[in-house]
Structure 1
Amino acid sequence: MSDYNGAEKTLAQGPPFVDQSEVNEAAYDDSGDNLADYKIDPAETRKLLRNLDFHIAPVVMILYLIAFLDRANIGNAAVGGMTKDLHFPANGLSLATSIFYVTYVLFETPATVLLRTLRPSRLIPIVIVVWGATVLGNGFAKSYGTVIACRLLLGMCEAALSPCLFLYMTTFYQRCELGLRMCYLFIASAISGVVGGLIATGFLKMNGLHGIAGWRWLFIIEGALTIGVGFIVAFFIPDKYEDARYLDERQMFLMKVREAQEAAYSQDTGFSWIEIRKALTDPVVYLSGFIQMCFDVCLYGFATFLVVIIKELGFSAVSSQAITAPVYFVAAVVYLFGALVSDRYSIRYWLIMPLGIFTTAGYVILISVSHGVGARLAGCFLAGMGIYIAVGLHITWLGQNIAGYRKRSTSVGLQQTFGNIGGIIAGQIYRSNNAPRYLLGHSASLAFWIVGLLCLTLEWYIWRSRNARREAMTQEEKDTMDQQGVTGDHHYSFRYLL
């Protein structure tokens, strides 16, 4: 069985590099051992990755962008007058925000487990079209109850996107390459904050056009665009690399080599209750889910209520939309550089923790400063600097450390199921009657953040301890493990990334 040390090891031990024209691919058949011995020229790897990134990154970023736009635009609509026009009850916005995550949580794990069975090229476009229609319908809502129904349906549809996109990327990239690629998703979510605020500013200025309120135009136009994206994207999502028409014959061969070199990590034996049980009985999966929940409380509270928080500092509805843009931009830039460092030096924990200090400081400022618009805006900037990268890298970390496609799909689904309970909590701690300082929301977010960082330390210790135990195993213990048929990330040759 191959040794898995991520970015710390070369791809494989094999013949020396040779010129592409001299390569005899016929000498390497489809047997995993033989292909795994082939050593890829780094220049070819870079060319292959550029091709993959060119075709995959724009698709996943656009999808994640519209997902976050359609999820968080309720905050923009609220600032634009929706709560008043539809006679929202007290804390009705908080309930409408939280209710989205009820169906989101319920459907995430089934969606990820069944992604390959239902085929990404079918499942993803269908749910996009349905949720686009839901968003568009929200623009014609006549009552608060209609908004709640739309949020429930939207949560069910989006549950089949976010974790599925990450799982989808694991079938194209090696695990040491996933940090930057996961960054694409969360940069898209941060960009959604930039774009969302600017778009909302324009739509609010359309207030009264054809007798339609500006917040309704927000839902109608964004919903129509989402439907269009759903139809278009169906032509750009291959189910697996073998179906990717943008890969030439040489690159298809290299993808087979890469798959063979990470056979234990990417192995898919089809739908298997045994693999699902492995995920359900691994305690670190539940710890990871709890940490994700703590981080997501901050992420969803920040993404949904930032515009409301800024408005309460004394800015107009239009100005508050525009001011959110630089906050999200800084968060996106920090994540991009952090992801590059993470992949380059193969670090996760020691990157999340230092940036977590900035977020902690941001919340402390928001809690402790009662006056001074500049200081509280600085608190928003600091809070965003650590939130996005912590959430994104932590999802990546679990995905990199779970071997076997079906176990990984279940594990990621479970992590996100627990994690997105944070969205329900976030909607309840930021209450309208706590304006303008939102002390409950900021204090609860800070508490969840600190607990999440402490538990992250425990997770890092568990991964490190498992590696240490395997390093200390005797040959007899290894032979026994082989006789028992142990595979995947529990095999002695597998090393967890730290």
Structure 2
Amino acid sequence: MSKPITEVEERHLVRKLDSYILPMTCLLYLFAYLDRSNLGNARLQGLPEDVLGGDESGYYFDWVNSAFFFSYILFQIPASIASKMFPPHFWIASAAVGWGLASTLMATAFNFGGLVSARVFMGLFEGCFGPGIPLYYSLFYTKHEMGLRMAYWFGFAAVAGAFGGLIAFGVNQIESSISNWRLLFIIEGIPAVILGVLTVALLPNRPERTKLLTEREREIALHRMHKVARGDVGYTVNRAHIWMAFKDWRVYTGGVIFFGLNCALASISAFLPTIIKTFGYTDALAQLMTVPPYAVAAVVMSMVSYVTDRLQTRGLFMAGSSCIGAIGYIILLTVEDNNGARYFATFCLTTGTYTSIGIIIAWYAHNLGSETKKATGIPMFMAIGQCGSILGSHIYPKADGPKYTRGFAICCALELLAALCCVFLHVSYKWDNARRDSLHGKPDPDVSVDTRELADKAPNFRYMG
């Protein structure tokens, strides 16, 4: 280090990183989530009647919705590991162009097979994007900064829910020879392609290679990257750390948590307009009424994530958020005649579920110890969790409406299971830290831990609880 790093220099660098990284990655996720979740709006715009033969049972719609998650799950782990071998801005850009094209081409589908094919390719390319962002952020941000940045990023899923309702409402007002649902796919698909092209020029490469930073800024960025742990870096893969991730029981526990949260998330994304319609609203107004719950979820998630960064603890906050989601489902299950209370319950669903998901991604981005273990462990628990998305796509059949007792009960139980697992993980991390303190002493927080061999199992590595 040529000279000591000052707090002023570090704050300036973080602001510069934020100005480059957050706008592009958040906008990309906004359109990624719009493209994966717009089926719920398209359903109320005539898609089943046009290409699914009416689909009175909702069977075909459920499978079109869940087709995305099969390829998303299968490609997450290999794609995330492979991403370490390529410049991240090119990798992210390619993924955006891919899913944007697939989403836009959904507008050309004229049967069940065409919709499923487009959704499968969309899932493939989004599987190359979503799990790679926590790894990408960890190259630039410290554990004290990750929670809020991940909340900003994932918060755009909630913004997409709100924005998607507004776009769908606007598209409903268009009189055109093209079906409204086809216009919706085109309007929400093309921007992802454009953003993908811009990403190559505007998103920084790895800290040691990016041309968007000065030499001094790269020096500070590299120091920050190794501030807590110094493991495998660059375009390399540590095979031993891949197997460590596969053998880590905490990764699978995270998968159980993510399974429950994603079951709720997928069902909210696909069926929230349908659920709100049961409160007595028209199709167009039901889409508009989805906006406030998503907007509140984005604000609350950012606030809670900021607090978890400051306190450096995440597990108990996740447990509390999951319980809020469960309370929403309990209201929907038990209150039948008060539509005000039932609409309030949708705020609980979105706020509790989105907040927990935003926090868990930041939690594991620190607690896995090395780049390769993060590149394996994060998509592992996310892939397990996305199996919950498949379940969530099939538990609200039309035959269960308007009460949807089965879907609400399953999501409620899984949210409570997620809360219990969060508490268990929090306690296990605290216990492991205390055990290492007693065996090896408390490490100096200003000294980087060498995790090249043992990843998070290094004696001086400490977990965030």
Q: 1:454 to 1:260 in 2, by over 3 A?
A: closer
Per the alignment, residue 492 of structure 1 pairs with 459
Per the alignment, residue 94 of structure 2 pairs with 126
Per the alignment, residue 128 of structure 2 pairs with 160
Q: 1:195 to 1:169 in 2, by over 3 A?
A: same
Per the alignment, residue 8 of structure 2 pairs with 43
CA drift of 1:452 comes to: 1.0
Per the alignment, residue 328 of structure 2 pairs with 362
Structure 2 residue runs of 5 or longer lacking an equivalent are: 442-448
Pick one of 131, 155, 163 that aligns with 1:187: 155
* Equivalent position SS for 2:222: helix
Query: What amino acid sits opposite 1:467 in the alignment?
Result: N
Pick one of 210, 213, 219 that aligns with 1:244: 210
Native 8 Å contact 1:108 1:163 kept in 2: yes
Query: What amino acid sits opposite 1:448 in the alignment?
Result: L
Pick one of 393, 405, 411 that aligns with 2:371: 405
Structure 1 residue runs of 5 or longer lacking an equivalent are: 1-24, 29-37, 476-481
Q: Could you list the per-position Cα deviations for residues 335-391 of structure 1 after superposition, in whole angstroms to 9, with x for gaps in the alignment?
A: 111111111111212222233332221111111112222111011012222111101
Alignment length (residue pairs): 454
Per the alignment, residue 64 of structure 1 pairs with 29
Per the alignment, residue 291 of structure 2 pairs with 325
Q: Which moved more, 1:419-428 or 1:351-360?
A: 351-360
Distance 1:350 1:454 in 2: 10
Distance 1:268 1:119 in 2: 9
Q: Could you list the per-position Cα deviations for residues 63-115 of structure 1 after superposition, in whole angstroms to 9, with x for gaps in the alignment?
A: 11001000000110001111111115322221111121011000001111111
CA drift of 1:474 comes to: 5.5
Per the alignment, residue 19 of structure 1 pairs with none
Distance 1:132 1:259 in 2: 32
CA drift of 1:264 comes to: 2.5
Per the alignment, residue 427 of structure 2 pairs with 461
Pick one of 114, 119, 134 that aligns with 2:82: 114
CA drift of 1:256 comes to: 2.5
Q: Could you list the per-position Cα deviations for residues 219-251 of structure 1 after superposition, in whole angstroms to 9, with x for gaps in the alignment?
A: 122222222222222212232013333322332
CA drift of 1:257 comes to: 2.1
Superposition map of 1:131-150 within 5 A: 131-150=99-118
Distance 2:230 2:192 in 1: 37
Instruction: Decide which structure has the larger Cα Rg and report it.
Output: 1
Query: What amino acid sits opposite 2:205 in the alignment?
Result: D
Pick one of 200, 203, 223 that aligns with 1:257: 223
1:471 paired to 2:437 = yes
Per the alignment, residue 312 of structure 1 pairs with 278
- In angstroms, what is the RMSD of aligned CA positions? 1.9
Q: Could you list the per-position Cα deviations for residues 98-154 of structure 1 after superposition, in whole angstroms to 9, with x for gaps in the alignment?
A: 121011000001111111213322222222222222111111211122111111111
Distance 1:324 1:122 in 2: 35
Aligned residues with identical type, % of pairs: 31
Q: 1:226 to 1:336 in 2, by over 3 A?
A: same
Native 8 Å contact 1:198 1:325 kept in 2: yes
Per the alignment, residue 3 of structure 1 pairs with none
TM-score w.r.t. length of structure 2: 0.93
Q: Could you list the per-position Cα deviations for residues 190-222 of structure 1 after superposition, in whole angstroms to 9, with x for gaps in the alignment?
A: 100111000011112224x1x111111001222
Superposition map of 1:280-295 within 5 A: 280-295=246-261
Distance 2:238 2:9 in 1: 35
Superposition map of 1:424-463 within 5 A: 424-463=390-429
Q: Could you list the per-position Cα deviations for residues 133-189 of structure 1 after superposition, in whole angstroms to 9, with x for gaps in the alignment?
A: 211111121112211111111111110111111111111111221101101112111
CA drift of 1:450 comes to: 0.7
